[in-house]
Structure 1
């Protein structure tokens, strides 16, 4: 069922696309200047990189994408080594809450989680949410075409279990 995105209310995200590949060290250096990120990195990176190695993913040279299913309340993390063609499922996480119904976001404040293909465009370690927030490039061209009014541009993935349109992890 999950491979039929329009039926399940799916959203696909590319995580830090070309910017990450070309300026990975600058991006990481910028993140590590934040004390919260530095603390989380030092606590979790060794565990995460060990898990990546078990999946035969190089912690130094990888690409990932996220696939979210609103109806099932799942976020899948898919990874591959740079230069490889095929992604593999790395981990499934669960959404602690969803809002709205299946179907696209057409209005501001409609509570809908967007459906479509997006990129993560911004990492915000200083966000008001307890856990680090990732901004997606909403609205995309399709969203703008079907919208009934101009749409706001602040849709995030975060770890606070409240949403009126964001993707929130358990």
Structure 2
């Protein structure tokens, strides 16, 4: 005798997909299935979570406004394996100011150094956070200048310049007109 045609595990996939298509968040699906990581739930949902799908499309759809060293590569297209991996793992790639698009075969992520990592990209929805971080870096530059810490001045100024460049690439202003009011 072979394997039975119907197995209870098949219903998990159906349930996960239906939950996602009806608008359930990934966190809800994780709780229902008892998953410890969002990656497991994303396997069931295939980027059906509306928030994740919107984020994914904002970053990877043709014509998306993005900035970072990888932006040109994304605009010219990714191979099928890379695209499949990103679809499955997109939820896990979010960082404070953008996303890490490093593929597993490329080794460990270095996006803690997101201002120099070639796989870091950002999009307009991160502009408010980028502006906040730019403000902080400028304050830190002033503080370390007052203390006479030359190496720290240079470091914070480089970080501020890089964030300003990302905002420029996105066509976003450096200062917020009404954000947070």
Give me the TM-score of the superposition, normalised by structure 2: 0.27
The structure number with the bigger radius of gyration is 2
Greater RCO, CA 8 A, separation 6+: 1
Task: Judging by fraction of residues, say which structure has more helix.
Answer: 2
Give me the TM-score of the superposition, normalised by structure 1: 0.28
Task: Judging by fraction of residues, say which structure has more strand.
Answer: 1
